Structure 1
Amino acid sequence: MSRTGRTRRADQTEEVVRLVHDVLGADVVGVYAHGSAVQGGLRPHSDIDVLAVVRSRTTAALRRALVDGLLTLSGSCAAADTVGGAGGARPVELTVVVASDVRPWRYPPLCEFQYGEWLREAYERGETPAPGPDPDLAVLITAALRGDAPLAGPPPAEVLDPVPHDDLRRAVADGVPELLAELASDTRNVLLALARIWLTLTTGEIRPKDAAADWALTRLPAEHRPVLAHARAVYLGAETERWDGLLPRVRAHAAHVVTEIERRRPRPR
């Protein structure tokens, strides 16, 4: 990535942090980077992943203010007068948690707010995300702790409890049904996410999507490799995202990977 590209991404992250502080004010405990930015660097299709920890519950009005701000900062729809706007901006995934909901740790954790581009249409219709249980927070918090990349506030280890290994494994497995529901509409990301889940359940590691795909490709039967290889290549910007020729293989590939995941699913307590 060029120096200009890196500067644009850094400035976009700063805009997200500024929005969090503008909306939530003194209630903010800390803001932390996670995801590709702290796991080997952003790829062409990587999101900017940010986790914010706050002291108390938000209101619907505050959550709507976050949504409205992010609709102008995130992705190709970013306004031209924002940093990197008019197509130069990356998608943003912002997650907000209340400190007392995640420390002391318990499962499943409660998510106070989440914005992601996959929900843009709902947000543009006026929907506002509500708090609710979110097993995936186990992965986000683990990634934030391992990345140790505060954007504001103290180091994450001073704010967040480590997630027990068993809960991390439960969380990634519990997210599979929701992913499969989006297989047709978000094919690339779902395939890469399934590869990451398979890897995490097998090794306990959390790796970038392309690294997880590399790992999975060496373990897949030959007939299931082309689908994941294409998803990886698109993620890295090496191929155009066209699924026409591979579409008949997508569900068979996903079914094979889900079988591998289920073999490793933690037993109920």
Structure 2
Amino acid sequence: MTLETMNTISDRVHAQLDRVTEIWKQALGEALTGVYLHGSLVLGAFREGVSDLDLLVVCRERLPREKRLEIVRQIMEADGKPCPLEMSAVCLSDLRPWRHPVRCQFHYSDFWTARYREMLSGKIGAHFLLDEDFEDPDITCHVKLTRQSGICLYGEAIDTVFPPVPEVDFWQSISADVHDYDFNAYEPRYFASNILILGRVLSYKVEHRILSKYEAGVWTAEHVPEALRPVVLDALDAWYTGREMRETDPALLDALKNYLIDAIEN
């Protein structure tokens, strides 16, 4: 299986990153602190057609509702060409001084695409994505990964923008809801990914480093009981090839989930 880095991605992916960066530059001008890449691409585990492009944007001012609508309209046009986009924008003043959870003032992912279409068409009026800055524990994860492995696509240097993340905040952000973790959360295509993510939480607890989903899948397969290993390996192959997972005994899935949760919590 061939996984890609920033140096090996296609011209189409480079063009998509350039387009998204330009959208933010044109929308914010001097109020844009920077656009930063994190996620699978910076960890060397990117696969076009499967992986998202993960971006974190930092602004010097609050975004009014009209500006958020203007930006999301253009982001939706760039989404899926060729990669799914996932991004959050935060205000610089919400990063320094550091406080967890960080307030998010713009978020986009395919989970919200249909809802954004309804907002743009006027079918939905007030909505927190447009009208509020909301606390988002996931920003803590994004900041830590950006400091560890991120790439600045535009703007100020990573170390000058993002403060160190206290370990207690990062661990809380990735483990707070682990007891109620559900492999079936979100759309069915995320089933394999959800298995890998739970293993990724455990790998951080042991290794104290954020691994890619691929690295975490390999790591998890090596650290679970032998009877559970095929489930992890199947999830790894399914996620990175884009196929559905093979039919698996529900008892094995429950055993894997319980094993990982116990190891994380204890």
Q: Considering the TM-score relative to the shorter chain, is it more than 0.5?
A: yes
Deviates more, 1:205-214 or 1:104-113: 104-113
Per the alignment, residue 137 of structure 2 pairs with 135
Gapped runs of 5+ residues in structure 2? none
**d(CA) in 2 for partners of 1:219, 1:17:** 39
- What aligned pairs does 1:77-96 form with structure 2 within 5 A after superposition? 85=81, 89-96=82-89
The aligned residue for residue 166 of structure 1 is 168
Aligned residues: 249
- Residue deviations 1:207-238, cap 9 Å, x none? 1101001111111123322222122112322x
> Could you tell me which residue of structure 2 aligns to residue 81 of structure 1?
none
Partner of 1:106: 99
Secondary structure at the aligned position of 1:218 is classed as helix
CA offsets 1:11-57 (integer angstroms, 9 cap, x no match): 11111111112223321111111111211242242111111100121
Q: Which amino acid aligns with 2:74?
A: G
Contact kept in structure 2, 1:149 and 1:155, CA below 8 Å: no
Q: Does 1:124 align with 2:117?
A: yes
CA distance in structure 2 between the partners assigned to 1:12 and 1:229 by the alignment: 31
Which one-letter code corresponds to 1:60 in the other structure?
R
What residue is the counterpart of 2:64 in the other structure? Answer: 59
5 Å matches for 1:218-257?
218-237=222-241, 240-243=243-246, 245-246=247-248, 248=250, 249-257=252-260
Tell me how far 1:141 sits from its aligned partner: 0.6
Q: CA deviation at 1:147?
A: 2.0
Structure 1 length as normaliser, TM-score? 0.83
- Whether 1:71 and 2:73 are equivalent positions in the alignment is no
- Read off the aligned partner of 1:144 and give its amino acid letter: T
Report SS of the residue matched to 1:211. Answer: helix
State the distance in 2 between where 1:184 and 1:144 align.
Answer: 25
In structure 1, what is the Cα distance between the partners aligned to 2:90 and 2:75?
17
After TM superposition, the structure 1 = structure 2 runs for residues 15-26 of structure 1, keeping only pairs within 5 Å, are 15-26=19-30
CA contact (8 A) 1:217 1:225 kept: yes
* CA apart distance, 1:4: 9.4
Pair 102,182 (structure 1): closer, same or farther in 2 beyond 3 Å:
farther
Distance in 1 (alpha carbons) for counterparts of 2:83 and 2:234: 21
CA distance in 2 between counterparts of 1:67 and 1:113 reads 9
Please tell me the root mean square deviation across aligned C-alpha atoms, in Å. Answer: 2.4
**Cα distance in 2 for residues equivalent to 1:247 and 1:122:** 35
Change in 2 beyond 3 A, CA 1:21/1:258? same
Among 190, 195, 202, the alignment partner of 2:194 is 190
Q: Deviations over 1:161-216 (max 9, x none)?
A: 01012221111112537863853632122112111111112221101101001111
| Alignment-mate amino acid for residue 95 of structure 1 | S
Residue ranges of structure 1 left out of the alignment (5+ in a row) = 76-84, 264-269
1:42 to 39, 46, 65: 46
Contact 2:35 2:152 in 1 (8 A): yes
1:200 to 201, 204, 208: 204
- After the TM superposition, list the runs of 4 or more consecutive aligned residues in structure 1 that deviate by more than 6 angstroms: 1-4
Corresponding position of 1:97: 90
Cα deviation digits, residues 54-81 of structure 1 (max 9, x gap): 0121122222222222222112xxxxxx
Match of 2:11 among 7, 17, 22: 7
Equivalent residues of 2:38, 2:55 under 8 A apart: yes
